[in-house]
Structure 1
Amino acid sequence: MSLATDAADQPTLYKRIRADIETRILTGEWPPGHRIPFEHELVARYGCSRMTVNKALSELAQADLIERRRRAGSFVRRPQHQSAVLKIADIRAEITALGRAYGYELIHRKLRAATAADRDRLGVRKAGKVVAITCRHSADKVPFAIEDRLIDLSSVPNAATADFSREPPGSWLLHHVPWTEAEHTISAIVADERTAGALAIAVGAPCLVIDRYTWRSARTITAVRLLYPGDSHRLVARFKGG
């Protein structure tokens, strides 16, 4: 391809290169840490100039999808584990860090077409499919938290075949799906009969609730509600002055 032709096609071509790479990242085909093809490989693959490839990679880096390392190449950025206020914790790691034995039970898993309530919860408009999961985490065989989660399969198609009977969905997502933005809402409720039974607490006992949403470049990844016995869990956030 001539430089003149490449210059004319560049606005469209660099967007195509970016979209191709972004799709592979967001679908999990290229997991965190995966090396992106070198610039000269992309030049050969797309028949374009190095400038076009560089522009696509620069925008992907600005979107926090990839990390560019001098002389080493570009890599899919690993998931961040820290938001501005609260850490997105891996419950299994959290329990283990307390010196307690971790336990996990998958209560419910269903692949289904997203209902209106699902779309509202995920903040999406288009019809699609989700994985709905309910599971229980325990510490020393005592219920620690109940997890109620939706995963948007348009953003994370590999979740449809993930074995959540063996690996908790939160752990799987943290290790396989990069995210760029998260939101926590913290509240308190009193346990109804269903929640009390799942957490082995009394009906009417206080529960801590964390509703969390995560996105990757404005695409919803997951919405999860975590319920903890109120008398055995606390949140700590440390701030620095501006």
Structure 2
Amino acid sequence: MNPARRIRDEIAAAIRSGEWRPGDRVPTEQELAARHGCARATVSKALGELAAAGLVERRRKAGTFVAHPPVHSAVMAVPDLAELIAARGEAYRWSLNAMRIESDGVAQCPPPALRVEGIHFAAGEAFALETRFIALDEVPDAANADFRAEAPGTWLLGHIPWTEARHVIRAVTPTRSEAAQLGVTMRAACLELDRTTWRAGRVVTHVRQLFRGDRFDLVAEFNAGT
């Protein structure tokens, strides 16, 4: 077998089997060349193919690391990020940053509205920022919910049925504060999702979520109509 292909296949097998986990550091080119008795150029070619396949991430001056697989979400669904991340085999955590009641009209959610801000984490790294407004006239129990222990989106899906939803999806660059919280540069591509959900024509919640562009995909599957 071609040496570069052999190295590529061995590393890919270690990643897919779970032996090497997302975020693990891959041995250096020098170490892999010595292990396989080949030139560094051969190793570099193998790592380049793995990076192109999305299995590893090559960071300048830092080395090569096992990539975090992107989380996929159906465009037409209202996803629970905790479930999506857990389904990828990664540890999920929610961190509440701020919460207050807004008495004026805000976003697309009528007052009074509970404003909740926080960060979703996957495998110990920031995955998405969230700013959410919950219509308290429609969801009064939200005022007493423990959003330190549970993300508001998860709580809403478990307590309040929705009948309609609207997504607005944009590619954006983060602000300085957003970039710092997500652990990316201000030039990084991010995915912004604005969603409003209704129940019987009345707004339940409006949310803005900002995702790292390399960690989240929106997917739609459909058939041609008759």
In the TM superposition, 1:42-53 aligns within 5 A as none
CA root-mean-square deviation? 1.3
Residue 160 of structure 1, CA deviation: 0.6
Paired residue for 2:122? 139
Match of 1:121 in 2: 108
Partner residue of 1:86 out of 61, 68, 76? 76
1:97-116 aligned within 5 A: 97-113=87-103, 115-116=104-105
Offset, 1:233:
1.6
State the shift of 1:121 in Å. Answer: 2.2
Taking the TM superposition and a 5 Å limit, the aligned residue runs for 1:71-220 are 85-113=75-103, 115-116=104-105, 118=106, 120-122=107-109, 124=110, 128-220=111-203
Counterpart in the other structure of 2:3: none
The CA deviation at 1:176 is 0.1
Partner SS, residue 217 of structure 2: coil
> Which sections of structure 1, spanning at least 5 residues, go unmatched?
1-83
Q: CA deviation at 1:235?
A: 1.1
Runs of 4+ in 1 over 3 A off after TM superposition: none
Structure 2 alignment gaps of length 5 or more: 1-73
2:159 and 2:182 mapped to 1: Cα distance?
28
Decide whether the 8 Å contact of 1:192 with 1:204 is kept in 2. Answer: no
Please tell me the residue identity of whatever aligns with 2:167: H
What is aligned with 2:223? 240
Give the number of the structure whose residues are more often helix, by fraction. Answer: 1
Secondary structure of the corresponding residue to residue 235 of structure 1: strand
Inter-partner Cα distance in structure 1 for 2:94 and 2:135: 22
Q: State yes or no: 1:228 paired with 2:211.
A: yes
- The aligned amino acid for 1:154 is D
1:204 partner SS: coil
2:118–2:129 contact (8 Å) kept in structure 1:
yes
Cα shift readout 1:54-95 (whole Å, capped 9, x = no counterpart): xxxxxxxxxxxxxxxxxxxxxxxxxxxxxx952211000010
**Amino acid corresponding to residue 97 of structure 2 in structure 1:** I
What amino acid is aligned across from residue 88 of structure 1 in structure 2?
V
Q: Deviations over 1:12-42 (max 9, x none)?
A: xxxxxxxxxxxxxxxxxxxxxxxxxxxxxxx
Q: Is the 8 A contact 2:75 2:219 kept in 1?
A: no
Q: Is the 8 A contact 2:91 2:123 kept in 1?
A: yes
Match of 1:81 in 2: none
How many pairs are equivalent? Answer: 152
Q: Cα offset for 1:231?
A: 1.9
Distance 1:233 1:204 in 2: 17
| Residue identity opposite 1:110 in structure 2 | R
Identity value in percent: 40
Q: In the TM superposition, what are the counterparts of 1:9-20 in structure 2 within 5 Å?
A: none
